[in-house]
Every structure is written in structure tokens, then in C-alpha cells.
Structure 1
């Protein structure tokens, strides 16, 4: 079977890139896999890519590339939705390259990995292929305008996959898609190897984009209380982003010195998680919670806010980690202090975390996708009937809305003439 992934920019750094590469490598055990990168900005990808996986870039943004002088690169995109937050990075050239590739694509399964790219998938991919949209962001984080665009595009696909069961439920409730399979399949993370965390190093680690929603400021505040009681413990935050200077000022203002440090981007992050005794996340919201899975695979217990939508589907509170209320500095501090004071408890929880995280092994997740491919293939006709019935049910409502709109237009014209 030939499988193609459509991704924004495989040459960058991010959770969607990591998880796509994990899944692609696992599927490459039995299939021919290609990753189609809409954009390319550097010579080599930052993450290692399985040599069995083919990478096809569509638009080369490097200054010395031929695409840099193409006038279409400076024309705004017409197909990529304007409400998508990456819209300014797309162009008429991207539209045309995506259309050209997809119309000629001979893959049996084509998987898009972000909303705007999924619009390309719905618009241009051949109908003989199974067309699957992954959603690495949640339904409710999309603007109303983008959701309207996606509802029109997604109804033509075979499946929409979210990273959590909870978000799949939101899509089914708020974006009915007759004939389209909507389900949650978690991201995968490989086994980092035979050396799990031993629970002795006095380090709390955290990782992610340095942006307000990740609430590293709350984690620093909570660690200020921890440091007052345990001066031999340190906090290490890995990542990059717009919040870096603000977070550094907060560390300085709290007098944490080298006890709390911003470490920059490190890949693979598992090497750092394996040096920590705890991994913490204070996010206000997560579409999944990839760092939690990566920490648990290293045998590190996690302390995380019980934010929508991912952590509760990853962490079993009190067994392989701790969940605390969103935005609650005191609860976060207490959970950290409890685990810091209980070394044997940390080890038991870390062992439980390592065992529980096996369900995110790439081979298992890949098998779930293969089962889905088989199901979608055998239900093509029945889902096509569901899709047709759904559209027929919507015709009266759409016709009535058009009639009302026409009447309003005629009234407005009459007023202008009068």
C-alpha cells in the first residue's frame, strides 16, 4: 500500500512533525510511505527521518532556490483558507503545487496533518484514494470562520482523526459529517530505550513552545515555592518561543538563579527527560499532551494540569502521575512537593508510567491506522449513501436561506432606487 502524508513543513520543529515521523516510520515496516512537505526553508530536516520514508518538498523558500524568484510566491493563496493561522506563509504557488501533486498522486491513502492542508486534500486529492484529515488542534480552538470552511471541506473526506476521544466527540456534536468517520487516535512516541528514569536526580523538567497558553509562568511561580523548601532541586524548561524574555525576567525576579533555567530546544527531548525525576506541565489547554507521553515512556512520573482535552486521557491520577486543576498554583506546588518528598513513590509511579505509556508505541498506533484503512475501504458505498442522504436533508434549509438572502437583496435594491 502507498501512503502519503501532507505536512506544513517537515524541515522545522514541532509536535506534529515528531508524531508524523513516528507514525510514518512505523507504517514503513509494511508500506511505501511518502511525506509531502508544503514548504521547505532549510537544506536538511531538524529531526531524523527513517531512510525508508521518501520526502517530497513542494515549495522551496530558501533564498537561493528557484522558487524564491517565482512571482506566484508573492501572490496570496486562493485555496488555503484565510482564517488558518498559517495563511500568510502560503501563496498562489503553494496552491498550484499542492493541486499539481495531489491530482497526479497515486497513493492509496493520503493523510493531511493541519486544517489548511486538509482543505487541499479535500479539494484536489483523487477520490479513489482514502482521504483522511488529522486534527492536531482542537475543534474549539479554530475560529468560527475556519470551522465553517472546514465543515464544507471535511464532508468530502473519508475520515477525520483527532488526537483525543474527547475532541472527536466535540467534532461529532458540533460539525456533523455524514458518511465521514470521526474518531480519536492518540499520537505515538517510540520507546527511548532500556534506561528509564531512576528517580534520584533532583530535577523537574518541562518542555514545549514558550507561549502564554503553556503557562510556564505558573510553573515557575509554583517552583518558587518548591525551591524555598528544597534548594537542592532545579527546574529545567526546554523549548523556544515568544515568551522567552518574559519567563527569564520572572525567573530573575523570583531570585531563582540557576535553580530554574531556560534550556532552549533539545532534540530528542527524551535524553533530557531521562535525567529528571519529574516532568511537569501547567498548560491551560492541550490538543493532546505529547510531552507527557514522552516523559512517561522514559519512566518519569508527570504532574499536569487537568486541562482540556488531552492529559486526562494520558495520565491516571495517583497511579502514573498527578492531575491538578487548571491555573491552580497551590495545587501544582503541593503535587510537586508530595512527589519530591516521596522518592520510593516516585519510582513506583515512574514504573507505572512506563508500563502505561506502551499503548502509545508507534507500532500499536500504526496498527490502529491500518485497521481504519481496511474499515474505510470496505464501507465506501455505505458511507457514500450516508453522505448523499445528509446533503439531500440539507437542501431545503440551504434553499430557504438562499431565497431569504435574495429577497433581502431585492429589498435593499428597491430602497436604493427609491
Structure 2
């Protein structure tokens, strides 16, 4: 087989070129192999190349001579000009190394290249290859970077990868990422590790007090963290040294750090060396502190010398090579305390070091260059076979793979049927605590208080035991595990059995237990607000536990810290005394809910309405007869109240009491004996001479007179709904200020003829407030629960007595009303400092719209805090179809009956 490796430069020290050379050398005995280098920068390649491998350069850029495209007759001045211009094949934003002169060299060589397979090793080279190669050449791209962490080259990788025959990556995690990005356009994926360089590698005796690492001195390698970790244990390891081999822009900063820590005679930065095998033979520990790695050659080389490795866990790379406690130690990412503890263990325990060193050496055998070469031959041969189907050339773009589907089933949805968010939160936390108790004697829980999720904390040494317990019998069937995004890799979700077991391979410090948020494409009732975070804290060398991420309390818990019992989400746990105390960010006052409701289908009520209209004299009767003031659409009931109350039960269990204000009507399904809901008649709160009233503005003027009503409460229209679990802090400040949610719609200029009563009321509000405070109102309020305070309403009632009383005695909406609870009090509270402007995800759906079914399907994604189903006089659906559509939606969104609903089947 004729195999060509296309690299950018063979003469440098890069690991990518070294890998290509190693592969070419291993294949040269049985195949015709060529190394095609875009540029020549030295007199000879940096790494040794087998004499059987053909080496060819395209562009000569050696110092001391004019740049030139080899084999192309071109005046020197023109070549220099091209070399100073940006490449068109591979623009600078993709890879800064390419120039227009490189384009010329590639365009001269690739269209006529005599080869069966071309292997590219960077995305820029892949871009050039698929644009210039003959169609019969198989293109195999080897991705040498942790792709999702690329700072450059991501665009050409994702754009041109579907046109390759094979994209080869080092690890399953990298393969999953490529599939996630490309979906149905994903080409064939091969998972093949880097080979070890050919030749003899001496074994280390592991008796030299030396910690060694190597790589470019750049931020991504995290050497400053390694130096900090060594500083924590340096006094306990007086004979040990840390040596960091390599060159790079961060050398000066590292030197300053070493001096600041007083380690100038303990930490060495000798630069680059040509014989890494000899260096590993001198070392006893290899340390890797990179933020992200693809498949680190430094770990492979260390293991080939029998040197155990202490490494940060990454989404790919280290966890694929290092088996914790078998051939090295994995440390949670970026944990200085964890790395310090790992170095101390390996340095202080000779037996452990030798045991892990032997495991490391055995692991390295699988990376033998000739064994890897045989795997490549299989990849190349299969790709060639796919390129010719029945003697015909297949198109280059294929869709042979796609992202792996998340393994969910209808069983998870069935298991969650009838489960409320409160019950799911309790069950999830109870299971997390049960697993923590089984795994550790040092566990504790950080309460969520007003935000986030409760956090179960364990030492990282107990991580494996916890993960083993996750899938035990008794776990709620609706639970999933979420492995959160880190370092650019996408998050993963799986079952407590499958993903919980898979996570044991790594050493990530965080995971989330939560009900499946989506099952078979349907957003679940318990899919939000029911998470429990689990954190695994590294052990500090002084015995304390160090947090892997920021929290509001502490980054470190001292050894032997006292714990106290606490009840969180109904589960008995233990926590630190400070954590058991409410925070200043919490709302600790009682909150009630008030509804106004009417059943416009009641014939007695409707007769009273008609009689009331008939008793009005003069022009006021004409106004009262308009459909905006007294039309049936304003009073019709489609059972919204039942489901709005369910939304409070499901998503705001912190509400103390619910009051339903009516003219005396009682929903047939409402259990009046239930202590959580009370029906309040109009005659209990409104003046006798104001009754009967059919004006919501009038009713709103007296809601704060409800006996026993809390100072803080929420006013709901019956077509307002909570969309997902919320805390009271979403509606009130801890000091008791009330939220105001403005709508984007404006109330416009005043006194426009033909305007509806609600808008005239808004203008009346504005006139009064402008006269009083010198500030005008501009926007309507969002259709969402109105947070109010009883004391502020009493203040308004006294201060604007005439306006309030006039509105209270208007039996139908009139031109002189104020809208006390749906606009006036909110603006007044902002102006007097008892309210604040807030934001929320709100949706308003006009159920008269002809696309109602589509709008309701969007709501079923459950992505809104509040929504309103506003009615109208004219509808786009037949009424029977409209009622069925709304009933089906509301039952699906709020499927669990509230405890105050009667069993109507009896």
C-alpha cells in the first residue's frame, strides 16, 4: 500500500510530527511510505527517519536564504511576496503558519499525488487535502488535539471532517465529541492511540528523589499549579526535586513563582532535551497538570520507563491511560491540594511507587509502535474498500455514524407518574445521602437555601464506593446522572447504573443526580428544580478537605470539623453549623396567594349580571354593555383555576395559605374542608353598596381586607400559571420588597378614543402617579403573579381614597377606574422604594389565536417561569375544539391533582 503522511514541518520538535514519523517508520518495512512536509526549516528532520521512508518538502523556508516553492520556477521576489501573504487554502484564523507560498507548494503537489492513502495531522492540512487531492485518494485525518478544547483549528476541523474518509481520534470521549458536533455528517470514526517511539527505553529504578514532567511552558500545561502543589509538600520531602523540561513563553513567570516560594534550589527548569528516554530513566514520579490533553505522550513515555504518573483527570487522555491505583494516580482537575497529596503518597511510599510503576510498564506495552501500525493498516484497508463500491468510486462525503442516543426509556416516565417536584427532590436527596452513608464516614450536605441544589460532599477517596452504590436496588427509577461540561467537552447524561459505573474510570469531582428532564422527547414535570449535586473533595496534606469549586461558605473544611443534624427537603442529614443557619439572601416571612374567580357559565350569576346592567342609568349603561366591560369572554371558566392552583401546589410548596375570592360561587371540585384553601365571598371584603360587582378592578381594591391575610402575598388571575419550580426569592427580596415584571408593551399616549377599559385604567394610574411623584409610567405589566404587600395597599387606600372608593363602586369596568393590583400598586411601590424591577421568563398565549396548538406545544418544553392563557371574544377554533385543546394541555402540564381537589369519581 502507498501511504503518505502530510505534516506541516518535519524539522521541529512537535509531538504531532514525531507521531507521524514513528508511524511511518513502523510501516516502512511492508509498505511504500512517504512523509510530505509543507515546509523545510532545518538541514534535517529533528527526529530519526527510517531510510526506507521517502521524505519530500514543498516549501523551503530555511533561514539565510530566500523562501521558495520546491520544484516550482518562481522569481525570488515573487516567492518572498507570496510568503508574506495570508494563505487562501488555510486562512490565518485557522492556522497562522500557512502562507500563500504554502498554497503554491500544496497546489503543485497534491493534485497529482501518487498514493493510496493520505494521512493529515492538523485541521489545516485536512482542509488543503480534501480541496486538492484526486478523488481516488483515501483521506484519513488524525486529530491530535483534545478537539473541543482547541483555541484554533476548530472551524476547519468541523467543516472538512465530513469530507474525510476516516477521522481518527485517541479516545472514546473524543469520538463522542466529534459525533455530537457533526451528527449525521459524521464520517467513519477510528479510535487509535499514539504509538511509543521505536527503540529501547531504559527502566527507571524508582530510587531517585525526582519528580519529572515535560512540555511547552504554556498556560495549558498548568505548571504553576504543579509548582504550588510541590510547595505544599516540599518540607515533608526535603530530598526531592521537581524538574520541568521544555521551553515556552511562561518560563519567566515560573522562575518568579519558584523564587517567591523559596524553591529556587528544589525546582529546576533546564529547558528542552533531546533524549527523553534517558530522562525518564532518572525519574521516580511523572506529574501531569494539564487542563486538557488528547493522548499525552509524556504519560506514555514515563510508563514505558516504569514510572508511575500522578495526573489531573481530563475528559480524554489521562483517564484513558491511567487506571487509578493500578498504574498511577488520577487527581480531580486543577486541584492543587489533590496533586500535592498524590505526590506525597508516591514519594513517601516506596512500595506503592514500585507497584504502580510495574503497572505503568505493563500498560505501556499496548502502545508498541508495530502493534499500532497493524491497527492503522486495518483502518487504511477498510477505508479503501469503502471508497470503491462495485468497482465505482464512492463520494467522499458520507454519514456513517451519528451521535449516540441517550439511553432513556418510557419506564423512566412511568416511574415519575404522579410524583411531584417536592417528592422527587426528597427521593433524590435521600438516595444521594444513602449512597454517601454507604461510602464514607465523612459525608455532609451543604443546603441549597435560596438557590441552586443541595450538595452532598464526600472525600474523593470515597468516590469509587459512592459510584458503586448509585445503581443499587432501591434507586428511584426516574433518576439520571449528569456529568457536567468541563474544559469544552459537552455534558453527558446516563442512568445511575450505566453512567455511574462509567464515571468510576475517571476522577471528576462533581456530578448531579436528577430525574430525567426529557423522556422520549417530552419534558418531564420533575425535570427541573429536583437536582442534587455530589462533590468529591480532595484531601489536603494537613488532613482537611478542599472544595473543587467555589461555594458561599468555604473552600476548605478542617479535619475533625463538628457537624450538626439538619432536615433538608424532608431528609435527615448532617452539615456544618453555619450551613444550617438561614442566609441573609433568603425570604423567611410567610407568603399567601389570592385568586379572583368567577364561573361565567352559572345561569344565576349571569342573570344577576344582566340585572345589574339594566339598573345602570344614562351613558354608563352603554359603557357597561360593551364586551370589553362585561362581555362573556371576561367571565367564562374553562377550569383554569383548578390547574392554576395545581401549579402553586407543584411549583411553590412554600406558599402558606391560598384564598379564592368569589361572589359566593364554589368550584365543584374544591374541598372546602381542606385547610390550605379558603373561599372568600365578595361581601366579606367589599362595601355593601358596591355589590354585586362584576368589575375585577373593583374587587382588587379590597383584596387586602381578607381576614388573616399575610403581609406578603401573590395575586393571581385564574389564567396565570407557574411554569416550573420557583423559590419565593424569585418574587420577593429577603427584606420583603416586591418584584415588578414589566412587559415590553407600552401603554402609549393617553385618551385615545376607542381604547379598552384596562388601558384607560392604566392612563388613570399614570395621571395620579405623575401628579403625586412627577414621574410617568410607560409600560404595562407582564401577565404573571403580582407580588404585593398588605401595608402598601392600605397606604394607597388612605392616600388616594377617592380614586379607590370610586373604583370599588363601579360594578363594571369604567373609564374612571384605576387598576389597583395589576398596575397601580407596582408603580407606586417602585416610586416609594418598596418594590424593585425584576426579570423572569414569561409567556402570554392568546387562546383565540389560530396557531394555539403550536403555541401550547412550545409551552410544553417547560422553559418559562410563568405563563398566561388569555381569553378573547373571538376565537380561531370551534369552541368544542378549543375546550378540548386547552383541557388536554392543562392536564398534561399539571398531571398531579392537588390535595384540595375532591375525588369526583365517587
**Shorter-chain TM-score: what band?**
0.7 to 0.9
- 2:142 maps to which residue? 134
* Change beyond 3 A, Cα 1:45–1:298: same
Pair 1:368-2:375 in alignment: yes
Pair 1:345-2:345 in alignment: no
Shift of 1:187: 0.6
Pair 1:108-2:116 in alignment: yes
Shift of 1:47: 1.8
* 1:276-315 equivalences in 2 (<5 Å): 276-315=283-322
Pair 1:42-2:42 in alignment: yes
What secondary structure, in the 3-state scheme, does the structure 1 residue paired with 2:355 have? helix
Shift of 1:381: 4.7
Pair 1:74-2:84 in alignment: yes
Shift of 1:384: 3.8
- 2:56 maps to which residue? 56
* Change beyond 3 A, Cα 1:289–1:247: same
Instruction: Select the residue among 194, 212, 215 that pairs with 2:222.
Output: 215
What secondary structure, in the 3-state scheme, does the structure 2 residue paired with 1:257 have? coil
Decide whether the 8 Å contact of 1:304 with 1:324 is kept in 2.
yes
- 1:331 maps to which residue? 338
Pair 1:123-2:127 in alignment: no
What secondary structure, in the 3-state scheme, does the structure 1 residue paired with 2:9 have? coil
- 1:157 maps to which residue? 164
Shift of 1:5: 0.6
Decide whether the 8 Å contact of 1:77 with 1:95 is kept in 2.
yes
Decide whether the 8 Å contact of 1:191 with 1:297 is kept in 2.
no
* Separation in structure 2 between the aligned mates of residue 7 and residue 274 of structure 1, nearest angstrom: 30
* Separation in structure 2 between the aligned mates of residue 160 and residue 134 of structure 1, nearest angstrom: 6
Q: Specify every segment of 5 or more residues in structure 2 that has no aligned partner in the other structure, as ranges.
A: 69-75, 401-906
* Separation in structure 2 between the aligned mates of residue 165 and residue 306 of structure 1, nearest angstrom: 15
Shift of 1:192: 5.5
* Separation in structure 1 between the aligned mates of residue 129 and residue 228 of structure 2, nearest angstrom: 44
* 1:372-411 equivalences in 2 (<5 Å): 372-381=379-388, 384=394, 387=397
* Separation in structure 2 between the aligned mates of residue 179 and residue 309 of structure 1, nearest angstrom: 19
- 2:256 maps to which residue? 249
CA RMSD, Structure 1 to Structure 2 (Å):
2.0
Shift of 1:177: 5.7
* Change beyond 3 A, Cα 1:107–1:191: closer
Instruction: Select the residue among 163, 169, 175 that pairs with 1:168.
Output: 175
Question: C-alpha deviations, 1:43-66, integer Å up to 9, x for none?
Answer: 122222222222211111123434
Shift of 1:18: 1.6
* Separation in structure 1 between the aligned mates of residue 380 and residue 276 of structure 2, nearest angstrom: 31
* 1:226-245 equivalences in 2 (<5 Å): 226-245=233-252
Pair 1:28-2:25 in alignment: no
Shift of 1:195: 3.2
* Separation in structure 2 between the aligned mates of residue 19 and residue 39 of structure 1, nearest angstrom: 17
- 2:440 maps to which residue? none
Shift of 1:300: 0.3
What secondary structure, in the 3-state scheme, does the structure 2 residue paired with 1:263 have? strand
* Change beyond 3 A, Cα 1:49–1:177: farther
Structure 1 or 2: more helix by fraction: 1
* Separation in structure 1 between the aligned mates of residue 341 and residue 65 of structure 2, nearest angstrom: 54
Question: C-alpha deviations, 1:49-100, integer Å up to 9, x for none?
Answer: 222222211111123434264122122211113322x32x221111121121
Shift of 1:191: 6.1
User: Number of residue pairs matched?
Assistant: 387
Decide whether the 8 Å contact of 2:123 with 2:154 is kept in 1.
no
Pair 1:17-2:17 in alignment: yes
What secondary structure, in the 3-state scheme, does the structure 2 residue paired with 1:235 have? strand
Shift of 1:227: 1.4
Shift of 1:181: 0.9
Decide whether the 8 Å contact of 2:164 with 2:397 is kept in 1.
no
Give TM-score scaled by structure 1 length. Answer: 0.88
Question: C-alpha deviations, 1:187-214, integer Å up to 9, x for none?
Answer: 1113653631111111000101100110
* Separation in structure 2 between the aligned mates of residue 80 and residue 385 of structure 1, nearest angstrom: 23
* Separation in structure 1 between the aligned mates of residue 399 and residue 201 of structure 2, nearest angstrom: 53
Pair 1:261-2:271 in alignment: no
* Separation in structure 1 between the aligned mates of residue 373 and residue 232 of structure 2, nearest angstrom: 43
Question: C-alpha deviations, 1:93-135, integer Å up to 9, x for none?
Answer: 1112112111121011110110101101111112212111111
Give TM-score scaled by structure 2 length. Answer: 0.41
Shift of 1:364: 1.2
Say which one has the larger Rg: 2
What secondary structure, in the 3-state scheme, does the structure 2 residue paired with 1:258 have? coil
- 1:205 maps to which residue? 212
- 2:427 maps to which residue? none
Pair 1:184-2:178 in alignment: no
* Separation in structure 2 between the aligned mates of residue 285 and residue 373 of structure 1, nearest angstrom: 29
Decide whether the 8 Å contact of 1:123 with 1:153 is kept in 2.
no
- 1:412 maps to which residue? none
What secondary structure, in the 3-state scheme, does the structure 2 residue paired with 1:33 have? strand
* Change beyond 3 A, Cα 1:34–1:79: same
* Separation in structure 2 between the aligned mates of residue 58 and residue 194 of structure 1, nearest angstrom: 34
Pair 1:83-2:90 in alignment: no
Shift of 1:268: 2.7
Decide whether the 8 Å contact of 2:149 with 2:292 is kept in 1.
no
242-251 or 381-390, larger mean C-alpha shift? 381-390
Question: C-alpha deviations, 1:239-277, integer Å up to 9, x for none?
Answer: 110111101111111111221100211123121011000
171-180 or 363-372, larger mean C-alpha shift? 171-180
